[in-house]
Amino acid sequence: MTASHELGFVRKYIFSVDHKVIGIQYLLTSLTFLLIGLTLMLMMRWQIANPGQPVPVVGGLLESALGEPAGEGKISADLYNSFGAMHGTIMIFLGVVPLVFGAFGNYLVPLQVGAGDMAFPKMNMLSYWLYVPGGLIMLVSFFVPGGAAQAGWTSYPPLATIIPTDGQTYWLVAMLFIITSSLLGSINIITTVIQLRVPGLTWMRLPFFVWTEFVTAFLLLLAFPPLEAGCILQLMDRLAGTSFFMPHGLVVSGQPATGLSGGGSPLLWQHLFWFLGHPEVYVLVLAPMGIVTEVIANNTRKPIWGYRYLVGSVLAIGFLSMVVWAHHMFVTGMGAGIATFFQTTTTIISIPSVVIMTCLMLSLWGGSIRFTVPMLFALAFLSAFGIGGLTGLPMALPMSDVALHDSYYIIGHFHYLVAPGTIFAVFAGIYYWFPKATGRHMNQKLGHVHFWGSLVCMNLIFFPMLIQGLAGMERRMSDGGYNYSAAHPSNEGVVGALSGTVMQLNGVIGWAVLALGAFQLPFIYNFFSSAFAGRRVESDNPWQATTLEWQTPTPPPHGNFVQEMFVYREPYAYSLSHSTQPLTSTRKSNGSNGKILDFETQNQPVAMANGNPAKQEAPV
C-alpha cells in the first residue's frame, strides 16, 4: 500500500526521501561525530594533564596516521591546536546541529504536525547528502600536510590565513557544504510547519518542540549566510591572495608581507563570524529545550506551565540573538557606546531563557512525576542549564568580562550548556522516542548506569573549569597552563601564577573525561542491542503521551498516518478532566485555551479520527 515497499534497498535506506529514514541517517552520522569529538578531547585532556608525555595506547597509531605533528606519539602544539579547533567544529557544526535539527527535527516535526512527510522530500535528501561530504572533508583535513585547521573553531585571521596548512582551506570548503545543507534543512522545516499542519492544529496548539525547531530553522536560515560570506572572503584570502582580513604592514615571522596589498580588517571576520556564532549557540540549545519540555510534560502527567510564555520567550530569543554577537568581542577595544548596546542586549536576552527555565520548573509542581530515564536526563538538563546560563551573566558585562575572557571559565560556561545541557537533552530525546522509531524499548538498567555515570563525570569535568578560569587559567593552552604555573622555574616570585591545586585539577578532569567516555559504552551497546532485541512496545503509545507522533503505527510507515485526523485541543492536555479549578484559572495557569476536555484517562490521544463528536466543538 505505501510506496516504500516497492523501493529497493538503496532508494529506501541510502538515498531515501522519507523524513524518518533521513532523520535516522542524521542521527547515526551526528552521533558518530560526537564520538569523534569526544575522542579528540580525550587525547587533548591527556596532553593537558601530562604535557609532553606520549599518548598511551593510541600514541603509536597517531604517529603512523598523522606523522610528524604526532612525533613519538606525543601531541605537539600544532596537533593540539588542530584537535582543539576540530573538536569545536565537529561538536558544533557536525555533531549537535545536525543532531538536534537534522535528526530530531527531521524525524519529529512532520509527525508532530501530522504531516505525511516534509514539504520538499528531495531537498531533504539533498541536505543530508551535502552534510556527509562536508563532514568527510573535515575529517580528511586531518591527513593533509600540516594537518587540520589550527586557528580554533573561530578561525580568526590573520592567524587562520598565514598558518601553513591546507587544513584551513578544507575547513572553509567543508563549512560551505555544511552551511548549504542546513539552509536547505531550515527551508524545509519552516515550510512544513507553515503548510502541512493538519486541520485544527492552530499555532497555539503546536507542541513546544515544533516551536523551538521553527525558531531554530529561522536562526540557521538568517544567521548562517553572513558566515558563508565570511568563508568566501577567507577563501579568497587564502587562494586568490586578497587582503580582506589582512591589515597594512603585516609582518609574517619577522619579514614584512610584501605581495599582500593589505588594507583589510581582522575585525571584519570577527563580526561576520559572531553574527552567526551567537545565534548558533541558541541553535544548540533551543531544540533541546523543546525535547525537555515534551519529556517533562509527559512524565509529570500535567500540562506545561505557561505554554504561551514559552512560545513568547523562544520567539524573543530568536529575535534578540541577532543583536548580541559583539559580546564575544568586548576586549577588542570596544568604545563606550557599542559596549553599552551589546551588554544591554546580552543581559536582556537572558530574561527569556530565565522565563523558559522558570516555566519548566513550575511545571513540576503538582505533577505526578515518573522517574523514567528520559525524565532523569531532562531534570539534569534543567540544573545544568542553570549553571551554564548563570555563568553567562558575569561575562555579559565587559567590566567583569575582562577578568574572565578567554579563560576556562568560558569553557565551563558553555560546556554546562552544551554537554550536560544539550547532550543530555539529546539523550533524553533518544530514550523517549526510541520506542516510536523502533517499536522497542531501550534497557532501563543500562540507561540508569549511563545517566548517573555521565552526570557525575560531567560535573567533575566542567565545574573545576569554572574554578580554574577564575584563578586565571587560559583556554587553548597546549600545555595545560604549565608555563603560567608557579611550578615553572621562570615564574618563581611571580604573584598570580597558577597554584599547584589549580594545576592538579587538570588531572581530575582528565580522568573524569576518560570515565565519561567509558560511561557512554553502555549507551552505545544499549542503543544497538535494543534496536534489534529490545523489549517490544505493548502499544503505539507506550508513554501515554498526548502529542500527534504517538498516533501513528509503530514504527511509522512511509506516509506516517493511517487515519485522517482533526486536532481539537492544545498539545499537553494531561489529566485535565481532574482539574479541581474553575475554567478561568485553568486558562490562566496552563495557558491552554481554557477548554476543559471531555475525557477521563490521562492518555487520551490529541486527535480523533474524522467524524468524532469532538470535531463539532472545534474552533474554525
Partner 1 sequence: MDGTNKLLASALSAWQFDWLNLPQLASRHGEDVDGLLLGLHNVMLLLFVGWIIYLFFVLWRFRAKRNPQANPVGVKTFIFVLLIGFVVVEEAVTLFGAGIPLWNNFVTVYPDEKQATVVRVTAQQFTWNARYPGKDGKFGAQHHTLISAKNPLGYIPSDEAGKDDVVPPLKDIRVPLEPIDADGDGKQDVDLLGRPQFKPVIIYLTSMDVIHSFKVLPLRITQDAIPGMIIPIHFMPTRLGKYPITCAQLCGNGHATMIGWLTIMDNSPQRAADGTIITPGAFDRWQASHVAGNAPQGGFE
Partner 2 sequence: MKIPYTSEIREDTGLYNAKIGMWLFLASEVMLFGGLFSAYVFLRIGAREGEWPHGLLNIPIGAFNTLVLITSSLTVALSWTTLKAGDFQRYRRLQIVTLVCAALFLGIKSWEYYDKFSHYEIWLNKPLTAKEYPQLAGHSTEADLPITSVVGHIEGVGPFETLASLQEAGMSTVKIHPDAFHYRLTALQQAERRKVEKATGVRAVHAETDEHANVSIDVSHIARMSAFVPKHGTFFATYFTLTGLHALHVVGGALAFAFILWPGARMWRDDPKRYTNSVECVGLFWHFVDLVWIFLFPILYLL
- Positions touching ligand HEA (CB under 6 A) are 28, 31-32, 34-35, 38, 41, 45, 84-85, 87-88, 91-92, 96, 152-154, 281-282, 284-285, 327-328, 330, 346, 349-350, 353-354, 357-358, 385-386, 389-390, 392-393, 395-396, 401, 405, 410-411, 413-415, 417-419, 422-423, 461, 475-476, 513, 516, 520, 523-524, 527
312 touches, from partner 1, partner 2, ligand HEA, none (C-beta below 5 to 8 Å by class): none
553 forms part of the interface with partner 2 (CB under 8 A): no
Q: Which is nearer to partner 2, 62 or 223 (CB)?
A: 223
168 touches, from Cu ion, partner 2, partner 1, none (C-beta below 5 to 8 Å by class): none
261 forms part of the interface with partner 2 (CB under 8 A): yes
Report the distance separating Cα 421 and Cα 428, nearest Å.
Answer: 11
H/E stretch holding 251 reads strand 251-252
169 forms part of the interface with partner 2 (CB under 8 A): no
User: Is residue 534 within 8 Å of residue 443, measured between CB atoms?
Assistant: yes
Q: Which is nearer to Cu ion, 3 or 331 (CB)?
A: 331
Closest distance between partner 2 and the C-beta of residue 620, in Å?
A: 10
Q: Which is nearer to ligand HEA, 88 or 571 (CB)?
A: 88
Q: Which is nearer to partner 2, 155 or 186 (CB)?
A: 186
Closest distance between partner 1 and the C-beta of residue 21, in Å?
A: 36
The three grid cell numbers given for residue 590, joined into one nine-digit string: 496552563
338 forms part of the interface with partner 2 (CB under 8 A): no
Closest distance between ligand HEA and the C-beta of residue 454, in Å?
A: 6
Report the distance separating Cα 197 and Cα 567, nearest Å.
Answer: 10
Q: Which is nearer to partner 1, 296 or 461 (CB)?
A: 296
The 3-state secondary structure of 471-482, one letter per residue: HCCECCCCCCCH
Taking contact as CB under 8 A, which single stretch among the options 59-67, 128-136, 164-172, 242-250 is the one that binds partner 2? 242-250
User: Is residue 314 within 8 Å of residue 211, measured between CB atoms?
Assistant: yes
Residues 6-65 that bind partner 2 (CB under 8 A): 18
Closest distance between partner 1 and the C-beta of residue 290, in Å?
A: 19
Closest distance between partner 2 and the C-beta of residue 117, in Å?
A: 6
Report the distance separating Cα 545 and Cα 22, nearest Å.
Answer: 24
Report the distance separating Cα 460 and Cα 534, nearest Å.
Answer: 32
CA atoms in the 13 A half-sphere facing the CB of 219: 32
415 touches, from ligand HEA, partner 1, Cu ion, none (C-beta below 5 to 8 Å by class): ligand HEA
Q: Which is nearer to partner 2, 194 or 524 (CB)?
A: 194
Can you tell me which of 15, 120, 309, 341 binds partner 2, judged by CB under 8 A?
120
Comparing CA positions, the residue from 180, 185, 188, 184 lying closest to residue 118 is 188
Q: Which sign does the torsion angle of CA 542, 543, 549, 550 carry?
A: positive
Task: Using the CB atoms, write b or e for 406-443: b if 16+ within 10 Å.
Answer: ebbbbbbbbbbbbbbbbbbbbbbbbbbbbbbbbbbbbb
Closest distance between partner 1 and the C-beta of residue 263, in Å?
A: 9
Can you tell me which of 70, 151, 190, 446 binds partner 2, judged by CB under 8 A?
190
Closest distance between partner 2 and the C-beta of residue 560, in Å?
A: 9
Report the distance separating Cα 378 and Cα 504, nearest Å.
Answer: 32
Report the distance separating Cα 223 and Cα 460, nearest Å.
Answer: 34
Closest distance between ligand HEA and the C-beta of residue 81, in Å?
A: 8
Q: Which sign does the torsion angle of CA 294, 298, 299, 302 carry?
A: positive
Q: Which is nearer to ligand HEA, 66 or 418 (CB)?
A: 418
Q: Which is nearer to Cu ion, 356 or 417 (CB)?
A: 417
278 forms part of the interface with Cu ion (CB under 5 A): yes
CA 240 to chain centre: 34
The set of residues, in sequence order, having a beta carbon less than 8 Å from that of 498 and lying 6+ positions away, is 468, 471, 472, 473, 481, 484, 485, 486
Q: Which is nearer to partner 1, 144 or 361 (CB)?
A: 361
β-bridge partners, 607: 567
Can you tell me which of 212, 243, 343, 391 binds partner 2, judged by CB under 8 A?
243
229 touches, from partner 2, ligand HEA, Cu ion, none (C-beta below 5 to 8 Å by class): partner 2
User: Is residue 273 within 8 Å of residue 90, measured between CB atoms?
Assistant: no
Comparing CA positions, the residue from 114, 42, 100 lying closest to residue 280 is 100
The three grid cell numbers given for residue 12, joined into one nine-digit string: 529506501
278 touches, from partner 1, partner 2, Cu ion, none (C-beta below 5 to 8 Å by class): Cu ion
Burial grade of 261 (CB within 10 A; 0-12, 13-18, 19 or more): exposed
Three-state SS for 256? strand
Q: Which is nearer to ligand HEA, 25 or 346 (CB)?
A: 346
Dihedral, 580, 583, 584, 585 alpha carbons, nearest 10: 20
Q: Which is nearer to ligand HEA, 526 or 541 (CB)?
A: 526
* Interacting residues toward Cu ion by CB under 5 A: 278
* Interacting residues toward partner 2 by CB under 8 A: 2-3, 18, 116-121, 123, 183, 186-188, 190-191, 194-196, 221-230, 232-233, 236, 240-244, 248, 258-261, 263-265, 268, 271-272, 275, 558-559
